[in-house]
Amino acid sequence: MTDQAEPAHMQAHIQVIDRAAALLDAIARYPESVSLKILAAETGLHASTAHRILASLIQNRFVEKDPAGRYRLGLRLLQLGVRLHANVDVRAIARPVMEALRDRLGETVNLTIREGDAVVYIEKATPNRMIHVQQLVGSRAPLHVTAVGKLMLGAAGEEATRAYAGRTNLPAYTRNTITTLPRLLAECSQALAQGYALDNEEAELDVGCIGVLLYDSTGNVSAGLSVSAPIERRRLEWAADLMAAADEISAQLGHQPPTRHR
């Protein structure tokens, strides 16, 4: 039997899915919320068509609308992404370790995953002190301005890092942001070699961060763990605590580091 052509109404439904996917991809390319005008231009959709599809995506929690009327990815995508990212809930495994690390260091501990050209904060453990760094779950930051993001770029390799720099043009977020490819390549390589990376007020002034990677049973990068603090309180010796915490979480994710021969 030969396949019959799909009915016109089925083709229309498929086209809607394609357009919705294009809108989600366009939103994901921006670290901050983005306007309808920009999304329509990015996707080639008429503004009214984009608005109608976005309304449905909002209703299904795939997209959120901020008070200024701009669009960002919704928490439902984050939840699905975490479930896809591993067969186990990395947040549930990491949470007790994160809380113990928060209590030990007295600062905010974050769990992040990579989504496109950004890291997404999927869990946090905040200290009980008046002044601390506040990272919102679901918020995003470009890879090159975060400690974990630099490690993720390093793990992806030089070619992938060059491609990232070409796509994003390495925009500056503070006067300390890395904005040149040679410096980014050098820092990502050094961070990967030493097992941790620093954010020296590169995403936000007066905030410093130390980040490490988490690995799954296949040896691939699963997520990132970081501690954020006012820059004057950050201590480099925390890197050892972070790496120990990362080893503990990675082991629970099934990671077996290569045996070191003496």
| pLDDT, position 152 | 95
Segments of the chain with pLDDT less than 70: 1-13, 78-88, 130-133, 258-262
Q: How many Å apart are CA 51 and CA 40, to the nearest integer?
A: 9
| pLDDT, position 260 | 44
| pLDDT, position 239 | 94
Q: Taking the complete model, does pTM exceed 0.75, yes or no?
A: no
| pLDDT, position 1 | 40
| pLDDT, position 78 | 66
| pLDDT, position 231 | 92
Q: What is the pLDDT of residues 13-57, one digit of tens each?
A: 678 888 998 999 888 887 788 999 999 998 999 999 999 999 999
Q: Count CB atoms within 10 A of the CB of residue 131.
A: 9
| pLDDT, position 79 | 62
| pLDDT, position 86 | 47
